A and B are shown apart, each in its own frame.
Chain A
Amino acid sequence: MSTPTRTPTGAPEHLTGPGSGGVGDDAQRPDGVLKVRGEFAYGSDLWMEDMLWGVTLRSPHPYARIRSIDTSAALATPGVSAVLTSDDVPGEKVYGLELADQPVLALDVVRYQGEPVALVAADHPETARLAAARIHVDYDVLEPVTDARTALGHPTWNQVHDSTAEVTELSRESAHLHPEGNLVRHLKVRTGDPAPTADVVVVGEYEVGMQDQAFLGPEAGLAVPAEDGGVELHVATQWLHVDQKQICSALALPPEQVRLTLAGVGGAFGGREDLSMHVHACLLALRTGRPVKMSYNREESFFGHVHRHPATMRYEHGATRDGELVYVKAAIYFDGGAYASSTPAVVGNGGTMGIGPYVVPNVHVDCYGAYTNNPPCGAMRGFGSVQTAFAYESQMDALAAELGMDPVELRCRNAMEEGSATPTGQVIDSPAPVAELLRRLEAMPLPAASGDGEVDLRDMPGGVSNTTHGEGVRRGVGYAVAYKNVAFSEGYDDHSTARVRLEVVGGEPTATVHTAAAEVGQGLVTVEQQIARTELGVERVVVHPKDTSVGSAGSTSASRQTYVTGGAVKAACAKVREQVVARAERLVGRTVPDLRLAGGAVVSDSEDITVPLADLLGDDVLEETLEWRHRPTEAIDPETGQGFAHVQYAFSAHRAVVDVDTELGLVKVVEMACTQDVGKAINPQAVVGQIQGGTAQGLGLAVMEEILIKDGKVRNPSFTDYLIPTILDMPPMRIEVLEYADPHAPYGLRGVGEAPNISSGPAVLAAIRAATGLPLTRVPVRPEHITGT
């Protein structure tokens, strides 16, 4: 098979940059220089000389029955090689991460606007688009179901005192979008007194809009037909092996004939966990016998991946007069959109961690995921915990106000700590410094007041748009703390595979790390090098291309790769090291208890032994491959939610300082401060980068990021109107990274990426509330919410 060429010079498989630095160092990214220079090849840069372009025809309707599809005019278009519909899918016609409910190409019904209906391959992308427009689809347009509670037949709020049996029964009035009904999952958490009472009670209803991952590199890949009748797919994705499994199912091919290689990924944030163009490109390539490239533009990308679940939530908190939480009741609704995607797991997180990192003796949570005709929602950074954090942290502020207590004080009084039990009955068996995170934030100095000295418009709400010189501006400060499970939960076999090779190349000992763990921009390739350097005592570490010729690494999501694939690389290195040490002992002729690898040699601290690896290995290649698992979790009880559901928790807290133009409703976030416990910072600079990025994404949801939907149709599928923070919106940060080792994790590390995305937004919301005095129960906060217009 020929290898795809890429127009830019630096392909992601050639990550052999000189680099240095072991565990705990600010090692430089092997792909960093290429990316800064614009020379890194992303999926959209894939190219082969004889390739065709694939294009997707999508449904314009959120809900419709397909009467017929006429492809004749498209097929007759000069330059077109193939036009495919669901009839051309040889294997299973539906796929999905957790439930196979999503058609590869629409069957008889389309359930969301943008659902793929047909495919075209042509010699030019414009020709393919033109031909796609000539496919005639006869739709019988149906009335879409666009609200999660309506879909479930819960048009009024679930009265949390009522029995759940009543409210889970689906309304006969709401159309069943799937044969089993519109309920994807209902998670119950029941602990303590079912009818608790408290001195002080606050009730609130909250809403979180639909956020997009807004990765900068749209979906792209290149499928190349192989001589063995299989296909090679180069694709920007998050989890090669779960893609492979679903592609095999759709193509009716065995895994040996569906080989995937990771193309350059321009961000993911969960949005690449589901399939996009994967099966489509393979179908077209196998049909035409030619390589087929598919590359979405920005608008198509908004329809081509899942989004963050919008949520509506009702919370009731009861506390004693001195601020001790007595109970929390919550009803949480996630709108999963047209297909399940990872809704069941999102419900799992939302339900099990939905009251926040607090000790509460009596908990009653109902968390639902529903099918609607809105765009499918699935994985996004924070995964079910982002939404609930807005609600539970708003509740904590409301409770503090009701009690006349300081909001930080109230949080600290109820904070989880090591040894605390979660509402699911899990005793936290590693550090949980919730109160310390908050106290450290509190101790940080506050930024100077605005308007001191000459006005710099860039510091004002509205920026250089010149809407205020200080008029109407009020400052607010808000705090929030959050926690998030790391890695996959509820009994999932969450493993990773690593292959580590040690050999001498050009006289230099060289380690090669081969995993299928997707590098999506987060820096796992750097971490893999750092671990190999530390464990094997060599400088030169090559990161092998990420592909399916090695076993699954699991998903690049759930803040898990440094933990799980890092753990696998560490363990594989240890096995290689054992071989090296055994060789050295054979050479020395006896057992030396403290032999270790450092500086490219086997050395001993107690004896004067230095055996260079170059001499020890010669032309031999040492290689080890192993699967590594974190300690197992278990499924939770379906009626009570009790169980050891999560392997590890990550904790972070934010303080937000905002200036709000209260007359115009414009917000300037002045400063974000974050404290986070990461157990052990494998790469401190990358940890800070994750905290900054997660903070920006949380801030975005708090004040601007929302996919606006009306009657099931997306109104803003572009970066013109789906706004993400710019450098003028994202302020400087104060960051304190704590390192309390988790004794169960490799190096004591904790997953980093998601926690700061969760606590950031609620802190911003709290600060805007403090500045305006308004209740503000919906995010993103729009100017209209502040001005009352």
Chain B
Amino acid sequence: MDFLQPVTWAEALEAKAAHPDAVPIAGGTDVMVGLNFGHLRPALLLDLTRVADLRDWAVTDGAVRLGAGVSYARVISELGDRLPGLAMASRTIGSPQIRNRGTVAGNLATASPAGDAHPALLAAGAEVEVASVRGTRRIPIDDFYTGVKRNAMDGDELITAVHVVPPSGPQQYSKIGTRNAMVISVAAFGLALHPDRRAVGTGIGSAAPTPRRAPAAEEFLAGELDSSGLWESRAELPEATIARFGELVAAAAAPIDDVRGSARYRVHALSVMARRALTWAWADHRSATQEA
């Protein structure tokens, strides 16, 4: 196995163009597991940790541009206020050591349905910035996940950054694991309320071949909030609305039975998590001062 270690982004893109089969490695929290278990035997590893351009985040055009090399630990410590949903998801990931190494971009590159960042990115409506020697493009998160551990990137492309607009309303994130830390998701749910757009964002993890949204649940809730003037009145949500939202989130899932949990449990857990997340988010919305 060969090992390339570019120090500039241009070199990295050239290397990827020359070797489309090269496996990029940043934190290594997925790649090294694959190597150690013999599931992954790439001819070439492309180490991106020396590329300085990837290491930072910045606010551009009102969105956070999160460099591909930024660790989960930094998302938690530096972006907890701007990207609360993603920070909550990041807190559920692995151990402190894993969070020091792992990156959101790595989660996207692997595109596992169990990746913890995905439901938060879906709910927030993120965009993935990818690049190749041919140029740069931005892929809406809805179009990014194309199959089990597959994404919309071409062989010569690398992830540059993730763009996430700081929310105008509350966000929540919940994940089920069968122990209380360091556990792969059995089912996960991300929720974002967007009062500015009068919209609702959702994301479901580990309960379908890809991470996915629950569009019917989003439309239902946005409609209820609109028609009842709840965005403005900030009155209590009717129990029936909360329950229906949970049902619709669960209905959007297409889980399987596997070693981590049953399909029935996943559907059930999603409905519970969706109800609770909405309850908490709505309480936040009610207690928040008038948005700017």
Contacts and interface: CB of A to CB of B under 8 A. Distances in A.
A729 B178 CA distance: 10
Contacts of B172: 466
A726 interface: yes
A213 to B, nearest CB: 18
Nearest to A669: B180
Contact of B176 (A298, A664, A729): A664
Contacts of B273: 467, 664
Given A129-B38, A471-B276, A715-B259, A466 B181 contact: no
B269 A721 contact: no
A718 interface: yes
B264 interface: yes
Contacts of B182: 726
B262 A729 contact: no
B180 A726 contact: yes
A415 to B, nearest CB: 34
A720 B269 CA distance: 21
Given A467-B176, A783-B176, A787-B268, A297 B181 contact: no
Contacts of B269: 664, 783, 787
A472 B269 CA distance: 12
Nearest to B184: A720
Interface in B253-287: 259-262, 264-265, 267-269, 272-273, 276, 279-280
A464 B272 contact: no
Interface string B29-58: 000010011100000000000000000000
A789 B259 contact: no
A257 interface: no
B180 to A, nearest CB: 4
Interface in B179-227: 179-184, 186
Contacts of A465: 92, 174-177, 180, 183
A715 B276 CA distance: 32
A469 B180 contact: no
Interface string B119-152: 0000000000000000000000000000000000
Contact of B180 (A463, A665, A716, A720): A463
Give the interface SS of chain A, mostly helix, strand, loop or mixed. loop
Contacts of B181: 463-464, 726-729
Nearest to A666: B176
A461 interface: yes
Contact of B178 (A464, A663, A723): A723
Given A465-B174, A466-B88, A726 B179 contact: yes
Interface in B55-100: 88, 91-92
A84 to B, nearest CB: 22
B268 A789 contact: yes
A72 B91 CA distance: 52
Contact of A787 (B88, B175, B180, B265): B265
A668 interface: yes
Nearest to B182: A726
A129 B88 CA distance: 41
Contacts of B186: 783
Contact of A469 (B37, B267, B280): B280
Nearest to B88: A466
A721 B37 CA distance: 14
A323 to B, nearest CB: 37
A469 B120 CA distance: 19
A467 B174 contact: yes
What band does the interface of chain A fall in when counting residues whose beta carbon is under 8 Å from B? 35 or more
B180 A462 contact: yes
Interface in A108-143: 129
B276 A467 contact: yes
A298 B33 CA distance: 11
Contacts of B245: none
Contacts of B175: 462, 465-467
Contact of A464 (B37, B92, B262, B280): B92
Contacts of B38: 129
B173 interface: yes
A86 B179 CA distance: 43
A472 B33 CA distance: 36
B118 to A, nearest CB: 15
A461 B265 contact: no
Contact of A789 (B174, B183, B262, B279): B262
Contacts of A464: 91-92, 181
Interface in B150-185: 172-184
A704 to B, nearest CB: 5
Contacts of B92: 464-466
A467 B260 CA distance: 17
Interface in B100-130: none
A615 B230 CA distance: 94
A466 B173 contact: yes
A468 interface: yes
A721 B174 contact: no
A452 interface: no
Contacts of A718: 37
A599 interface: no
B23 to A, nearest CB: 17
Nearest to A785: B265
B191 to A, nearest CB: 11
A784 interface: yes
B266 to A, nearest CB: 9
Contacts of A471: 276, 279
B179 A725 contact: yes
A97 interface: no
A287 interface: no
A210 to B, nearest CB: 13
A708 interface: yes
Given A720-B184, A721-B259, A723-B183, A704 B178 contact: yes
A784 B264 CA distance: 9
B201 to A, nearest CB: 17
A409 interface: no
B205 to A, nearest CB: 11
B116 to A, nearest CB: 9
A299 interface: yes
A629 interface: no
A782 interface: yes
Given A463-B181, A464-B91, A299 B37 contact: yes
A663 B176 contact: no
A787 B267 CA distance: 12
A462 B177 contact: yes
Contacts of A723: 178-179, 183
A10 B38 CA distance: 31
A787 B250 CA distance: 15
28 contacts: A297-B36, A458-B180, A463-B180, A465-B92, A466-B88, A466-B91, A466-B173, A467-B175, A467-B176, A471-B279, A664-B273, A666-B176, A708-B259, A715-B259, A720-B33, A720-B184, A721-B259, A723-B178, A723-B179, A725-B179, A726-B180, A728-B181, A729-B179, A729-B180, A782-B261, A783-B261, A784-B265, A789-B265
Given A458-B180, A466-B172, 10 more contacts: A465-B175, A467-B276, A468-B276, A471-B276, A720-B33, A726-B179, A726-B182, A729-B180, A787-B269, A789-B262
What are the nearest 8 A-B pairs in CB distance?
A: A463-B180, A728-B180, A728-B181, A465-B175, A789-B264, A789-B265, A789-B268, A726-B181
